[in-house]
Amino acid sequence: MKKLALIFFSLLTFSSFAQNAYVYKNKASILFDKGDFTKAATNLTLALKINPKDEKALGNRALCYEKLQKFDLALKDNLELLKYNQSGETLGSIGYDYLWLDKYEDARKYLNQAIELLPEKVVYRYNLALTYQYEENYDEAIIYFDEALVISPKHRPSLISKTRCLVKSKLFEKASAVVDSFFADHRFDVEMIILRGDLKKQKGKIEDALSDYNRALVILPEDTEVLNKALKCLFELGYHDEEIELRKREIELLLKSDWSKEAKALSFALLGFAQEAALYYEDALQSYNESLKLDPTGGEGRIYYIRSILKAKLKDFEGACIDLAKTKEIDPGKDEEYDQFFIDDAEFEEFVDYCMPNP
């Protein structure tokens, strides 16, 4: 009777553990769907304490870690899962983790195994292509993007990445053909719009490129890379008022970000250039001042020199002379070169007499 009671008790205990594990996994699933990947992973950890060989819990926790971009932890779980589950999905996940850990040879090893087991799974060929793209082996990357596109001709990530590789390889006509075909199918993707803008700019179609970058900015208003592309177009086109407004928008974003002081200083300086080109001299002076507050080196003295020119235009000869001296202090050995700019321009004759009495 006592032995029977012990067996019964052990069965109850096992059932309780199983129920607890189910509760943790179920809670993790709800949290995952809500996007709370950290708490989901925590609950899966509790489930794995009850059953360390729970394949579903291991795989799902790895997925949580991938969502959190903790690829080292995801890899650890997926390698553990591989002991019990040698499926293509597990191999593909390991390859994916190695990819984002920049271990491209290891990634290729597992992705190729995944492809052997699941040859129609387009994402494995896509990830395989990325391992070559990130190594800047664009020819090899294009081969595998093409393989992915044989399986799924409209696989958007492969089309976008292939186009990037073609651009990097300077195969602009082929890249344009991919982009044109994409839009001919009445499809839409902001990355493709940006790439189309890049290709138009490369062909010298600056207005058309600007139009694409502006379209992209409607969707990605805080993308500083696209902002910069648009700003370069505005500068080349001489649209200084538009450049000024967009540059102010960039500065607003940079000041709220963790970008370096040097990057913020450069943006203020570029705003000053645009304001000066538009003849807003006082505004330009203020922008140069802000730039130098952020970066007192003045970009190796260049901003002091630009400000000295502006101050000379504004007849602030003392301030201009001080800035010119600061430029020479920061960037020694070019005194004659710096002076010659003023000497050669009749506009600065008074300044030359004031600051360089014996040129």
**Which is more confidently placed, 359 or 330?**
330
pLDDT at 304 over 70: yes
Please tell me the distance from the alpha carbon of residue 256 to that of residue 68, in angstroms, as a whole number. Answer: 23
**Which is more confidently placed, 150 or 19?**
150
Per-residue confidence (pLDDT) for residue 9, from 0 to 100: 39
Q: Which of 97, 13, 3 is nearest to 59 (CA)?
A: 97
pLDDT at 168 over 50: yes
DSSP track, 114-130: HHHH-TT-HHHHHHHHH
Average pLDDT over residues 5-11: 39
Give the CATH architecture of domain 19-85: Alpha Horseshoe (1.25)
Per-residue confidence (pLDDT) for residue 2, from 0 to 100: 47
Rg (CA), the chain: 30
- pLDDT tens digits along 61-103: 999 999 999 999 999 999 999 999 999 999 999 999 999 999 9
pLDDT at 4 over 60: no
Distances (CA, A) of 248 to 92, 100, 177: 45, 35, 36
DSSP track, 179-198: HHHHHHTT---HHHHHHHHH
Average pLDDT over residues 198-218: 97
Model-wide pTM > 0.85 = no
Q: What percent of the chain has pLDDT over 70?
A: 94
- 176 pLDDT band, cuts 50/70/90, is very high
Per-residue confidence (pLDDT) for residue 46, from 0 to 100: 85
Query: Can you give the residue ranges of every domain in the chain?
Result: 19-85
- pLDDT tens digits along 99-129: 999 999 999 999 999 999 999 999 999 999 9
- pLDDT tens digits along 21-67: 778 787 878 888 999 999 988 888 888 888 888 889 898 999 999 99
Per-residue confidence (pLDDT) for residue 29, from 0 to 100: 83
